[in-house]
Amino acid sequence: MDVSDWLADTRASYDTVAVSYADLLRDALTEEPFQRGILALFTELVRARGSGPVADVGCGPGRITGHLHGLGLDAFGVDLSPSMIEVARRDHPGVRFAVGSMTRLDLADECLTGLLAWFSLIHVPDDEVPTVLAEFRRVLRPGGVVLLGFHAGDGSRLKTEGYGGLPMRVHVHRRPPQRVAAWLDAAGFTVEAELTHHPAPGVEGGFVFAHR
């Protein structure tokens, strides 16, 4: 698939579902103590590296960005979907958000202390992941922390509707944490931890912590 194709499909799909997505997931984190714990650990690791900005890349409607901001981080969000960014700015007026692509971030070299990609790499094709991780490394300071959250497992599927039955066209990729960790290692990161969470039968979440 051409880079422009999957990016265009992802942008159009999340523009379509932005309001419904935000409404359905607004309070989801309150019911996910494991995920809150993961984000708290990320916050502590960032603080241990000193102060500095933290990017939530693929932030959607900003719910995780807002949570990190509430934990005291200088967090801001970037998303491919203009409609998602519009919702994020509406719901989190005290937080910075910008439209942008994880394949080419509009950020200076070595400007971030932390970077989070929370279930946003799931739409990136395997052959584009190295490009994205190289971009993450470019914008992180030496020692900067990266946390990737994703659907664990194997295989891909085409998602044609979601969030209230609205039309979508995005591929959802599942990956084992070991594969994601290997990609990070190949991109020049030092992997610190790989985790798999089983919140419900047949549901797996993967999380990998690393630093530049």
pLDDT score of 143 more than 80: yes
Of the pLDDT bands very low, low, confident and very high (cuts 50, 70, 90), residue 2 is low
Of the pLDDT bands very low, low, confident and very high (cuts 50, 70, 90), residue 4 is confident
**Total domains, the chain:** 1
Output the domain CATH number for residue 35: 3.40.50.150
DSSP the chain: --HHHHHHHHHHHHHHHHHHHHHHHTTGGGG-HHHHHHHHHHHHHHHHT-S-EEEEET-TTSHHHHHHHHTT-EEEEEES-HHHHHHHHHH-TTSEEEE-BTTB-S--TT-EEEEEEES-GGGS-GGGHHHHHHHHHHHEEEEEEEEEEEE-SSEEEEEEEETTTEEEEEEEEE--HHHHHHHHHHTT-EEEEEEEEEEETTEEEEEEEEE-
Q: What is the pLDDT of residue 21?
A: 97
Structural domain boundaries, residue 205: 3-211
Of the pLDDT bands very low, low, confident and very high (cuts 50, 70, 90), residue 104 is very high
